[in-house]
Amino acid sequence: MNRALRDFIAIGCVMTGVFLLAVNLFTGVTSFWAIYPVALLLCPLAWLLTGDQKTGSIIASGLFLTLCIIQNIVETPEYLWFVYLLPVAVAWPIVVCAGKAALKPVFAYLASFSLMGCYVLLNIYFEPRFIWCIFPTFALLWWPIGITFGRHPHQLSIIGSGLIIIFFAAVNRITSPDCFWVIHPIFAVLWWPMSLFLAKKPFLFAMTGAGVTILYFSSVNYLVSPQHLWAVYPAFAVSWWPLSVYYFVHRLRRLTH
């Protein structure tokens, strides 16, 4: 990064921070909300001023965590919510200091599972009534999965779509077991592996996609309004997709060969 761009970003962070603080002070100090964006702006500022990624990450992480602790003690001392930021605040400089080692599967699995373990313990100790640790766990699993299968898109699509389906199914079960809404993200995520495996087979892709779409609308029809058979209308419209592909793509290919 050249000096002009670095100075521009640094001055921009300072100007934005001063502006937000001024707005917070002039509009009322009953809630000191400006500390959150200012804390975020201090991270790139410390990174740029130090000129070293490793040192900058340590300073930025320390500043951000310190400001959050101060805000926690000032506003809600009865509930220490800053502990939820501790794993990320510690992990970020460790990952930066690790450098290229962070791109290796062993480091990715060790770091991600360590963070997941921290959030599971925090969930058990602070909020055992609701299993919220599934959300950071879902996000953290993409790190080792992406590194392990990043160069294998077909395998990544299967594992990734399976992870998404399991996650939304768990959220559906925990938050709203009476409403089977998980069928909507399942329908959406199935197109990821289908598009990769059937990209070079347009007729088979059209047949599979149409079948999945008809099955989706039929399932929604049965779950939402079984007394009205409205799924036949989108099923009729979708059936034109494989029909048109067969006559205008697949059949022409067979004739030309």
Residue 154 lies in a domain: no
Cα 129 to Cα 115, 116, 174, distances in angstroms: 21, 18, 11
pLDDT band at 141 (very low <50, low <70, confident <90, very high): very high
Say how many domains are in the chain. 1
Cα 204 to Cα 199, 236, 247, distances in angstroms: 9, 18, 13
Residue 119 lies in a domain: no
Residue 81 lies in a domain: yes
Residue 241 lies in a domain: no
Which structural domain, as residue segments, surrounds residue 4? 1-103
Residue 252 lies in a domain: no
Average pLDDT score over residue span 130-138: 94
Q: What is the mean pLDDT of the chain?
A: 87
Cα 206 to Cα 155, 199, 246, 252, 257, distances in angstroms: 22, 10, 9, 16, 21
Q: Which of 98-102, 131-135, 177-181, 229-233 is predicted with the least confidence, judged by mean pLDDT?
A: 98-102
| Angle 239-243-249 from CA coordinates, rounded to 5° | 140
Statement: residue 151 has pLDDT above 70: yes
Average pLDDT score over residue span 159-174: 95
Any alpha helices (H) in 28-52, and if so which ranges?
A: 35-50
